[in-house]
């Protein structure tokens, strides 16, 4: 259905030419799911944008071919040769796309229903009421609650997961032949994720739709994909049938990625993170691009460019280990398990935060003759405790009140919602004094509390000022909340921060739009860490990160917790992350707490049916047999 040959894409940037894609070749059959995986910045999303002819203004396809094959009366299309007017008929009609960041992909001044109708009217014969009914049908199929009512809502009135569902409905409403899905389930909780993945499978079965799945969730890939391609620094470094890839990965990078997945077994030891970052693509490479980070690199890897070597009929690897005559070296690759970490803080740790009967009510817009409630109860009677140096995970479906709870604690809802209950922030151990109620603080007392309580937002793009450079973004909080630090001290701290979160130091002189989604999330985490808070509200802090960077960030957060005693309120739908990070878990449904307890006990033997349903919906990595893995 889709045939890509030697596709090359370049971006003209201030410091040179970025060779974003290098001789990319892939083919996807009708009804096939082809997964593209790899770290942030390796070229996955750039591949999607190139296929849709949606490259930024400084981007240019410099070589290669891209064909969409026709069936059932549809013609073959040379995508790169089409004029823009012709491409508009293909884009959305024959090739749909689910973008990575729904918050920036949805039009903020159009209702979500009107946006879905717009796609239907542009690519199908339906008009008027028929198009509206089709749009409501798709909003229902992707799991939007009360779709007829939410049809007239604007994107800002929806949670991150709900906006992602709208984006999926918009992409599928015209029933395209081929779908490019760029992180389609990133912002979704596990139950809705399972529904969406099942929906995509059923559409493939019904319509023979081809699917290019771009994701960092290897468990989703193992359950969805027929074939997998692993990208690194603009190249495909391994391609194989999914079962073969997960059972016996060949490339050292693939092996290291699988070892970086968070599991319960990694609870008492660091995750196997991959050191370093993807190299800048402005340089000319004279050897293997992964060699500086490879644990099994050979002396000649730095000076010899590897080619894709076939290791079986359908399995190819770009690694010098698999050249003829050197395949035996691949058998010597082994794993070294990291040493156990220091014990976690016990239950005797001093109290940090006590939330008592928290409620949050939002006013509803109403006409003069409207009936019914005047307020929407987003959170009702939520209570929990968090001790110093511990992590409390807040889990539940999208829209259940998790993010609202976090924002209320950081005092970001003043003036927009009515908050009840108490949130008592206790002083550090040994300092004495009374606990402060965060909901009653004003002026300098509130500013002092902000030094102690920070937040990492779910959508990194929307939370970073696009007109400010990274250095200004990180320095702003330091200058405002840590005035005792002089300019030199702040500069040194910023350089340490970007090192800690896995960015190169030249990132300080760039702007948010120049980074991938995962890289922007690392900037957001660095901003929260800058003022050395006692409590960080982490709202899906790893949802935009691939598994290798996720492992780095989780290791970093745990290391900081052990060194500094910082506590985390971890809002997430990733149960693997909960297994690794959490000391205690609070499960929310419909704005209320339905179950809470120690993490190990709750995850192994949940008492409530809703918690059991959540855990059963978690995708698990399917591996037929363990394969060799790199020393990391």
Q: Angle of helix 517-529 relative to helix 547-564, nearest 10 degrees? A: 10
Q: How many CB atoms lie within 10 A of CB 87?
A: 18
For residues 510 and 600, membership in a common domain is answered with: yes
At residue 152 the predicted structure's pLDDT band, cuts being 50, 70 and 90, is very high
For residues 400 and 541, membership in a common domain is answered with: yes
**What are the φ and ψ backbone dihedral angles of 236, each rounded to 5 degrees?**
-85, 125
For residues 399 and 532, membership in a common domain is answered with: yes
At residue 187 the predicted structure's pLDDT band, cuts being 50, 70 and 90, is low
Beta strand pairing call for 584-589 and 391-395:
parallel
CA gap 618, 190 in Å, rounded: 6
Tokens of 260: 């970086």
- Please indicate whether residue 552 or residue 229 has the higher confidence score (pLDDT): 229
- Please indicate whether residue 381 or residue 622 has the higher confidence score (pLDDT): 381
CA gap 292, 278 in Å, rounded: 10
Residue 439 lies in a domain: yes
Map 173-200 to HEC letters: CCCCCEEEEECCCCCCCHHHHHHHHHHH
Burial-class residue 438 by CB neighbours within 10 Å (0-12, 13-18, 19+). buried
Q: What is the pLDDT of residues 233-244, one digit of tens each?
A: 999 999 999 999
User: Torsion over CA of 555, 558, 563 and 565, rounded to 10 degrees?
Assistant: 160
Overall domain count for the chain: 3
Q: Which of 207, 270, 272, 200 is nearest to 30 (CA)?
A: 207
For residues 385 and 500, membership in a common domain is answered with: yes
Residue 306 lies in a domain: yes
At residue 624 the predicted structure's pLDDT band, cuts being 50, 70 and 90, is very low
Residue 33 lies in a domain: yes
Largest interatomic CA distance in the chain: 82
CA gap 24, 200 in Å, rounded: 25
Scanning 402-469, the segments in alpha helix (DSSP H) are 402-409, 443-452
For residues 379 and 505, membership in a common domain is answered with: yes
Q: What is the pLDDT of residues 106-146, one digit of tens each?
A: 999 999 999 999 999 999 999 999 999 999 999 998 888 89
For residues 212 and 290, membership in a common domain is answered with: no
CA gap 296, 610 in Å, rounded: 45
For residues 518 and 467, membership in a common domain is answered with: yes
Residue 589 lies in a domain: yes
Residue ending a domain, choose from 225, 241, 259: 225
CA gap 192, 225 in Å, rounded: 19
Do the Cβ atoms of 520 and 464 come closer than 8 Å? yes
Strand, coil or helix: what is 216? Answer: coil
For residues 205 and 289, membership in a common domain is answered with: no
Quote the domain boundaries for residue 599. 352-364+374-616
Residue 265 lies in a domain: yes
- Please indicate whether residue 556 or residue 299 has the higher confidence score (pLDDT): 299
For residues 275 and 360, membership in a common domain is answered with: no
CA gap 55, 51 in Å, rounded: 9
Residue 624 lies in a domain: no
At residue 630 the predicted structure's pLDDT band, cuts being 50, 70 and 90, is very low
Q: Which of 80, 72, 69 is nearest to 3 (CA)?
A: 69
Minimum mean pLDDT among 63-77, 500-514, 534-548: which range? Answer: 63-77
For residues 420 and 478, membership in a common domain is answered with: yes
Residue 546 lies in a domain: yes
Do the Cβ atoms of 464 and 523 come closer than 8 Å? yes
Residue 460 lies in a domain: yes
Q: What is the pLDDT of residues 375-398, one digit of tens each?
A: 889 999 999 999 999 999 999 887
For residues 188 and 51, membership in a common domain is answered with: yes
Residue 63: CATH number of its domain: 3.40.50.300
Do the Cβ atoms of 214 and 180 come closer than 8 Å? yes
What number is the average pLDDT over the span 458-468?
Answer: 85
For residues 214 and 304, membership in a common domain is answered with: no
């Amino acid at each position: 259905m889709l045939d890509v040959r030697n596709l090359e894409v370049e971006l003209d940037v201030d410091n040179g030419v970025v060779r974003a894609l290098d001789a990319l070749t892939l083919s996807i059959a009708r009804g096939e799911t082809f997964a593209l995986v790899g770290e942030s910045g390796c070229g996955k999303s750039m591949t999607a944008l190139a296929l849709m002819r949606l490259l930024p203004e400084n981007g240019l396809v410099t070589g290669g071919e891209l064909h969409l094959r026709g069936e059932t009366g549809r013609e073959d299309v040379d995508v790169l040769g089409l004029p823009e007017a012709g491409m508009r008929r293909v884009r959305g009609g024959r090739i749909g796309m689910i973008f990575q960041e729904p918050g920036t992909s949805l039009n903020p001044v159009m209702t979500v229903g009107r946006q879905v109708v717009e796609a239907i009217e542009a690519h199908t014969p339906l008009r008027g009421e028929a198009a509206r009914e089709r749009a409501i049908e798709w909003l229902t199929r992707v799991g939007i609650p009360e779709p007829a009512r939410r049809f007239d809502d604007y994107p800002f009135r929806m949670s991150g997961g709900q906006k992602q569902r709208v984006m999926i409905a918009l992409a599928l409403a015209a029933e395209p032949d081929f779908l490019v899905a760029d992180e389609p389930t990133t912002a979704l909780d596990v139950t809705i994720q399972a529904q969406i993945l099942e929906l995509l499978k059923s559409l493939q079965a019904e319509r023979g739709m081809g699917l290019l799945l771009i994701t960092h969730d290897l468990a989703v890939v193992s359950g969805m994909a027929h074939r997998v391609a692993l990208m690194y620094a603009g190249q495909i470094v391994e391609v194989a049938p999914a079962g073969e890839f997960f059972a016996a990965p060949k490339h050292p990078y693939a092996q290291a990625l699988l070892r970086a997945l968070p599991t319960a077994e990694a609870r008492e030891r660091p995750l196997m993170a991959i050191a370093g970052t993807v190299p800048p693509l402005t340089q000319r490479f004279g050897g293997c691009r992964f060699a500086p980070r490879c644990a099994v690199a050979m002396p000649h890897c730095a000076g010899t460019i590897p080619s894709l070597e076939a290791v079986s009929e359908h399995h190819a690897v770009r690694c010098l280990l698999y050249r003829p005559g050197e395949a035996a070296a691949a058998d010597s690759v082994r794993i070294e398990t990291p040493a156990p970490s220091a014990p976690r803080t016990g239950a005797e740790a001093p109290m940090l935060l006590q939330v008592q009967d928290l409620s949050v009510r939002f006013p509803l817009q109403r006409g003069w003759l409207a009936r019914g409630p005047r307020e929407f109860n987003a959170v009702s009677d939520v209570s929990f405790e968090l001790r110093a140096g511990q992590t409390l995970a807040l889990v539940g479906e999208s829209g259940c009140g998790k993010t609202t709870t976090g924002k209320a604690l950081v005092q970001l809802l003043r003036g927009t919602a009515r908050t009840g209950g108490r949130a008592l922030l206790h002083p550090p151990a040994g300092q004495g004094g009374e606990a402060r109620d965060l909901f009653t603080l004003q002026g300098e007392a509130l500013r002092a509390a902000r030094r102690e309580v920070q937040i990492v937002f779910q959508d990194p793009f929307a939370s970073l000022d696009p007109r400010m450079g990274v250095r200004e973004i990180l320095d702003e909080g330091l200058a405002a909340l840590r005035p005792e630090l002089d300019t030199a001290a702040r500069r040194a701290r910023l350089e340490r921060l970007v090192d800690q979160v896995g960015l190169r130091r030249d990132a300080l002189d760039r702007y948010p739009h120049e980074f991938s989604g995962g890289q922007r999330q690392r900037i957001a985490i660095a901003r929260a860490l800058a003022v050395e808070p006692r409590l960080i509200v982490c709202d899906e802090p790893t949802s935009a990160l691939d598994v290798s960077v996720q492992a780095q960030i989780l290791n970093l957060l745990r290391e900081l917790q052990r060194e500094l005693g910082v506590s985390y309120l971890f809002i997430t739908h990733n149960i693997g992350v909960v297994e690794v990070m959490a000391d205690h878990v609070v499960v929310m449904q419909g704005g209320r707490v339905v179950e809470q307890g120690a993490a190990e006990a709750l995850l192994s033997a949940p008492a409530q049916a809703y918690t059991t349903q959540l855990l059963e919906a978690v995708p698990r990595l399917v591996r037929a047999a363990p394969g060799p893995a790199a020393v990391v």
